[in-house]
Amino acid sequence: MKIDKKIIKELTEYLNEFNLTEIEYTDKDTKIKVSKSNLTSSNQAVSVASPTPISNPTKSKDASGTEVKSPIIGTAYLAAEPGAKKFAEVGKKIKKGETVMIVEAMKTMNHVPSTVDGTIKEICVEDGQPVEYGQTIIIVE
């Protein structure tokens, strides 16, 4: 399999331009994921794999519970499509790894998993609202 270096270069430029930590390109049978290393912003790794966005839970200062944060910049969606059942609703019990929201970035739908078992205490974003990297999207108790 031959990898088009031009695509990797373009994806790397998007990472820097939009201050992203990870971006994925899919074309037929090829998936290319480019992500920045956590060590320095100039180190970059390239892998061919499916996306696995992971949120890091932190304790909220204003509310009790665990915050699930957006792993990327994009648009948050509470359901897979308009009119469909929402992934997360206040009071719903969820398990670690269960999808709580989708964040769309560059026409790629990224499922955001819960980082803990618990009950959804608060949904911090509206359907279709833009979100930033690291922004709290739900709080789980």
The per-residue pLDDT for 121 is: 93
Query: What is the reported pLDDT for 13?
Result: 84
Instruction: State residue 63's pLDDT score.
Output: 54
- Residue ranges of the alpha helices (H) in 1-141? 5-17
Predicted pLDDT at 37:
63
The whole-model pTM stands at: 0.53
Q: Mean pLDDT for each 10-residue chunk of the chain (141 residues)?
A: 77 81 78 66 39 37 76 90 87 90 88 90 91 91 90
State residue 107's pLDDT score.
84
- What's residue 17's pLDDT? 80
Q: 58-140 belongs to which CATH class?
A: mainly beta
Would you give the DSSP letter of residue 11? H
- pLDDT of amino acid 31: 78
Strands (E), the chain: 22-27, 30-36, 44-47, 58-59, 66-69, 74-77, 93-94, 99-105, 108-113, 118-123, 130-131, 136-140
Contact yes or no for 51/24 (Cβ under 8 A): yes
Residue type, 26: T
Predicted confidence at residue 81, as pLDDT, reads 84
